[in-house]
Structure 1
C-alpha cells in the first residue's frame, strides 16, 4: 500500500462555511427586499441553489444564468417582482452577493488543521468547483490562501469534480501520485467517489455533525489508518 503523502480538501462545506455564510447573507438580502426570512424561504433558496448550481456544473447553463434562475425560482413566490432583463437580475443578485461576502467565514478549525498537516510533513492542496475570482476571494478573506501547496479551481482547470482529471490535476500540482493522496470533502459523489475514481483515497466529512468538535480527529484517524474509512 502506497504511503499517504498529501491531503486534498474541498472548499465549500469542508473548510469554508458556505451554508452558514449564505444563510446570514440570504437573511439580510431578503429583509432588504421587505421579505421575512422564514425557515421556508431559506429552504427554498438553498434548494434552488443546489439545483441551479448543479445545472451549471454539468454545463447546462452558464454561471451567471444559474444565479438568475435562482432568483426566478424563489423570489416571485415570496411576493417580489423581478426585473424583466438580465442586467436587472444581475444587479439584484449582486445585493445578495454583497451580503453573502460580508458573512464569509472558514470553519474555526480549518486553518489550524491545514497548518498542522503541513508541519507533520504532508503536502496540502485544494480542489474546488467554482469561478476563479470568487473562490480565490474566499480564500484570501478567510485567511486560508497561504496554507496550501496547490490550489486548483475548476474554472481554471477546465474540468469539474467529480471528473477524475480534476483530481489528477491536483495530484500533479502536489507532485505526488494520486494513490498517495487522501481527499477530504462533504459530498459523496463529487468529492469521495470522484477522488476514488482517480486512485485517491476519499474521506467524507459532515460539518453539520462536527461543527463544534471539527474534523481534525477524523482526518488524522484516516491518515493513521492509511486505509479507506468505513462508510
Structure 2
C-alpha cells in the first residue's frame, strides 16, 4: 500500500493550547460575567449536541434561564479564548510545506465550523492545506468513516491511500484504521497511550523532524 495523500488532525497534533480547557472556560465565563460553569457540565452538554456551527446550543443548555448572558456571547468569548491559547508545534508550517511537495495534504478536524475556523485564522493556516475539512460541515465527525471518506475525496485519492496523523486513539487511530486508511499516532508525555492499531507512533516534540521519514517507511 503506497501513500498518495496525508491527512492531519489539528488540536494536540499540529497545534497545542498553552493552558488547559478548565482555565480557558473559566476565563470565557469571566469575560461575559456569566455564572460559573464546570468543565464537566460543558462536556455533558457537548455530548448531547453536535454543535455544527457554534457552541451556542451547548451554552444554552448549561446556562440558567436567569443568567442574564447570551449563549451566543459566551460561545464567542470561549471561541476567542481557545484560539488565543493555541500555538503551532515547532516547525509545523515547514512540515506541511515539505509534505505538500510530495503529497496532497489535508486537514480533518472535529468541531464547530466557527470555532475551528477561528483557530485557522489565528494560525494563518487556511492556505496550509490542499483541503480543509471541519466536521461541523460534514454529515458525521471522527471516528465515523464518512469523515475520512470525505477527506480522501477532497484530496482526490482512495481512502486506502491516505496516511492520517492524529493524537486521539479512538477518533483518529481507530477512525482512520476502520475507514481503511493507515494511522500515525502522535504521542507526548502524559498523553494517551499508543493504540495497537496505529501503523506507527511519533513523538510530538519530533513530529516536524521525523514524520516524513516515518511516512516513507510505511510504503
TM-score by length of 2: 0.75
SS of structure 1 residue aligned to 2:15: coil
* 2:92 counterpart (110, 123, 132): 110
Contact 2:18/2:87 (<8 A) preserved:
no
* 1:167 counterpart (120, 123, 148): 148
Q: Number of matched residues? A: 205
2:157 corresponding residue in structure 1: 176
* 1:150 counterpart (109, 131, 150): 131
2:104 corresponding residue in structure 1: 123
Spell out the pairing of 1:1-80 with structure 2 (5 A cutoff): 2-18=1-17, 20=19, 22=21, 25-26=24-25, 28-29=27-28, 45=39, 47-57=40-50, 63-69=55-61
| Unpaired stretches in structure 1, ≥5 consecutive residues | 35-40, 73-81
Q: Distance in 1 between matches of 2:8 and 2:68?
A: 35
Deviation at 1:51, TM superposition (A): 4.0
Contact 1:109/1:214 (<8 A) preserved:
no
2:175 corresponding residue in structure 1: 194
Matched, 1:137 2:115: no
Q: Distance in 1 between matches of 2:23 and 2:100?
A: 32
Q: Distance in 1 between matches of 2:136 and 2:5?
A: 23
Q: Give 1 or 2: higher strand fraction.
A: 2
Q: Distance in 1 between matches of 2:68 and 2:210?
A: 45
Deviation at 1:19, TM superposition (A): 6.3
Contact 2:84/2:122 (<8 A) preserved:
no
2:218 corresponding residue in structure 1: 226
| Greater mean deviation of Cα atoms: 162-171 or 106-115 | 106-115
With over 3 angstroms needed to count, the CA separation of the structure-2 counterparts of 1:21 and 1:106, relative to structure 1, is farther
- Per-residue CA deviation, residues 152-192 of structure 1 (Å, 9 max, x unaligned), is 11122222111111101111111111111110111111111
Q: Give 1 or 2: higher helix fraction.
A: 1
| Unpaired stretches in structure 2, ≥5 consecutive residues | 191-202
Deviation at 1:208, TM superposition (A): 4.9
With over 3 angstroms needed to count, the CA separation of the structure-2 counterparts of 1:31 and 1:86, relative to structure 1, is closer
Matched, 1:100 2:82: yes
